[in-house]
Chains A and B, each alone.
Chain A
Amino acid sequence: MSNKLSTLFDKVWDAHVVRKIEDGPDVFFIDRHFIHEVTSPVAFLGLQNRGVGVMFPKDTFATADHNTPTINQHLPVADPLSNIQLKALEQNAAKYGISHWGLGNPKNGIVHVVGPENGITQPGMTIVCGDSHTSTHGAFGAIAFGIGTSEVEMVLSSQCIMQPKPLKMRINVNGTLGKAVTPKDVTLYIISQLTTAGATGYFVEYAGDVFERMSMEGRMTVCNMSIEMGARGGMIAPDETTFAYINGRELAPKGAAWDKALAYWKTLKTDEGAVFDKEYSFDATDIEPMITYGTNPGMGMGISKSIPRGADLKGGTATYEKSLNYMGFHEQDQMIGKKVDFVFIGSCTNGRIEDFRAFASIIKGRKKAEHVTAWVVPGSHIVEQQIKEEGILDILTDAGFLLRQPGCSACLAMNDDKIPAGKYAVSTSNRNFEGRQGPGSRTLLASPLVAAAAAVTGFVTDPRDLM
């Protein structure tokens, strides 16, 4: 390569290559490894069978989130299988000297919420977890992505995985976002334009003034959804917003170490003129509050629009029809006015304080629609605490909402929070696959504002009408 100009991604990737294997992957060094109860037990079993230990236990962090109940966390976990998995995580962490934030621990919460809020996630790092939404941490200018359990075992035993370097994509969004258009809408819009496979094989850098003006919470929402267009991850160059977020957090560098880290972090940006394998540019003014109508996150549209005709879309129509049948929708249907049975605000996508502030801004002075069941689930105990301190809990209570305890909750139908068959849920989570929120459940992905509007009216409603 004659081009010496590097992208942000190149800079971080190349600094972590321990060895390049000819006609093979790179041996890729990992700075931070998050583990949770679902994808780690078999990896620990593998270590035991091989008789090898954990190479750097201090760089691995365990938290319980997928299987945990979101009410009565002080009681024993009722589901015996979940209980066994949670116990296994606790025992494995203790055995190998890994820090463990289990149920009841004040630091417990969703892995992609607690990592950043405790200062573990930092710019320039490589971060992995056996969870595809690890891409969240890219918001800090880290290379972060999800891995399989075999790779979890690799990282535990050698702090490395084997990865071919992905191609590079840049997605630029510039301009001013309209009223009620949130980071979730930006990402749902991008995915609707690229499709769920549009970035497969690529690592994305998000650039442009829309992201520059975005809070860290918003950037995390965007990077979180990178996997939904097939990208392994997405990242945003660290800036003053990033540094201000990290500064002072418990596990962030302090004193001289902070100064040194900061000097390095400031070098983490794409060189002017560096080349990407693919580049897209979007205009912020084209984005309106989004909602999905189908069974993958690429099937999203502006909330005021009608469901497109399959024939007008690229790709097959057979699957499109199957998808609409599952949802009980038809081509050209308006989404506004569709009846909603459940509303879920939370998850690693939209379970942070800013999301609850947005939710509260709409429900304040209104009441939850009687026929709607709402699950309001903070991403962590720290978020839960913020909700209380900022008076959001009072707003929720006055409007007839119950604040639950932290966890992945209704995002993935693995714990008790499941949407029943045939029911419609407006959900701030990340996936609307068939059965994702429970067998037969029908998910409409949206922002916290759209979720709030649905919760108080009981129907899909344009949040701009309530603001």
Chain B
Amino acid sequence: MAYDKFTVLKSTAVPLPIENVDTDQIIPARFLKATTREGFGDNLFRDWRYNADNSPKQDFILNNPIYSGKILVGGTNFGSGSSREHAAWAIYDYGFRCVVSSFFADIFRGNCINVGILPVQVSPTFLQKILSSIEADPNAQFEINLPDQTITNITTAEKELFDINGYKKNNLLNGFDDIDYLQAMKSDIAAFAEARDM
């Protein structure tokens, strides 16, 4: 699917310092009934964000106008649970382009990259400092530099390297996706399949 290329992102961030944020919280199953991928942002964190009568929960971070930005900062083991790519779609559709955590669940991490969201895994210490910087100043800025694979806490000028494999990095930098790659090697795949069938 087409997404905006990712190079350097400088933005404020929204803190969600909760551990084990699972994909049922990111988007509950009852909102997975669409047959297209648009509009999931409206139900991002639905049951944390809204009361049963659809009024906003005032104490939830997304309902606090002080916090905004294209970076979502979560607690450890972010995105555990279901394989629903809708969770990544919801985060993207809401306007985030990067999720920062000290640990990501596996399927969620892959889904993010496939839809154009950069998952940035940082050390627990660095994560704490990011959260402190936001707490001290909700307008604190962060820079995510994909070519250099760095995240910078501009307030403290601290920088950390993050990991991403070269192939996926190239995809994000150029807006490529895996399907294009696989389509280009279909004859190899067909030959492989035939050899397996023998």
Interface on A for B, CB 8 Å cutoff? Answer: 18-19, 21-25, 27, 29, 38-39, 41-42, 45-46, 50, 52, 55-56, 66-67, 79, 81-82, 84-85, 88, 130-132, 134, 146-151, 153-154, 157-162, 164, 166, 196-197, 200-201, 227, 230, 232, 296, 315-316, 318-319, 322, 412-414, 421, 431, 433-436, 439-440
Contact = CB atoms under 8 A, between A and B. Distances in A.
Interface stretch (B110-118, B134-142, B150-158): B110-118
The 3 closest A-B pairs by CB, nearest first: A24-B167, A23-B166, A148-B85
Contacts of B75: 316, 319
B66 interface: no
Given A132-B83, A148-B83, A149-B85, A230 B105 contact: yes
A38 B32 contact: yes
18 contacts: A18-B192, A19-B188, A23-B165, A24-B167, A55-B189, A66-B32, A148-B107, A151-B110, A154-B178, A158-B179, A158-B189, A164-B165, A230-B77, A232-B106, A316-B19, A319-B19, A413-B29, A414-B29
B168 A147 contact: no
A158 B37 CA distance: 21
B6 to A, nearest CB: 16
Contacts of A161: 178
Interface string B69-100: 00000011100111111101000000000000
Contact of A322 (B18, B181, B189): B18
Contact of B182 (A23, A38, A41, A157): A157
Given A29-B196, A414-B29, A433-B81, 6 more contacts: A19-B188, A27-B189, A160-B182, A197-B80, A413-B29, A433-B24
A147 B107 contact: yes
B161 to A, nearest CB: 16
B36 interface: yes
Contacts of B77: 196-197, 200, 230
Contacts of B183: 50, 52, 157-158
Contacts, number: 195
A81 B33 contact: yes
A24 B166 contact: yes
Nearest to A80: B33
A162 to B, nearest CB: 5
B11 interface: no
Nearest to A79: B33
Contact of B20 (A41, A232, A296, A436): A296
Interface of B: 1, 17-20, 22, 24-25, 28-30, 32-37, 47, 52, 75-77, 80-86, 88, 103-107, 110-111, 114-115, 165-168, 177-179, 181-183, 185-186, 188-190, 192-193, 196
A433 B25 contact: yes
A326 to B, nearest CB: 11
Contacts of A319: 18-20, 75
B191 to A, nearest CB: 9
A319 B75 CA distance: 10
Contacts of B185: 18-19, 27, 158
Contact of B107 (A132, A197, A316): A132
Contact of A45 (B17, B36, B192): B36
B57 to A, nearest CB: 12
Given A132-B83, A196-B20, A315-B19, A22 B189 contact: no
A150 B188 CA distance: 21
A29 B189 contact: yes
> Of A29, A166, A439, which is in contact with the most chain B CB atoms at under 10 Å from its CB?
A439
A157 B20 contact: no
B44 to A, nearest CB: 14
B179 A50 contact: yes
Contacts of B17: 318
B189 A200 contact: no
Contact of B115 (A38, A66, A150): A150
B182 A154 contact: yes
A29 B103 contact: no
A436 B52 contact: no
B63 to A, nearest CB: 17
A392 to B, nearest CB: 29
Given A158-B183, A435-B28, A439-B47, A85 B111 contact: no
A159 B189 contact: yes
Contacts of A151: 110, 114, 178
A439 B52 contact: yes
Contacts of B47: 434-435, 439-440
B24 to A, nearest CB: 4
A162 B181 contact: yes
Contacts of A322: 18
Nearest to B24: A433
Contact of A413 (B30, B52, B81): B30
Given A29-B192, A88-B35, A319-B19, A200 B166 contact: no
Contacts of B178: 150-151, 154, 161-162
A277 to B, nearest CB: 15
A84 B81 contact: no
Contact of B167 (A23, A41, A81): A23
A231 B33 CA distance: 27
A130 B81 CA distance: 13
A92 B83 CA distance: 21
A411 to B, nearest CB: 9
> Of B24, B80, B196, which is in contact with the most chain A CB atoms at under 10 Å from its CB?
B80
Nearest to A47: B179
Given A55-B186, A433-B22, A130 B83 contact: yes
B35 A39 contact: no
Contacts of B88: 148
Nearest to B170: A24
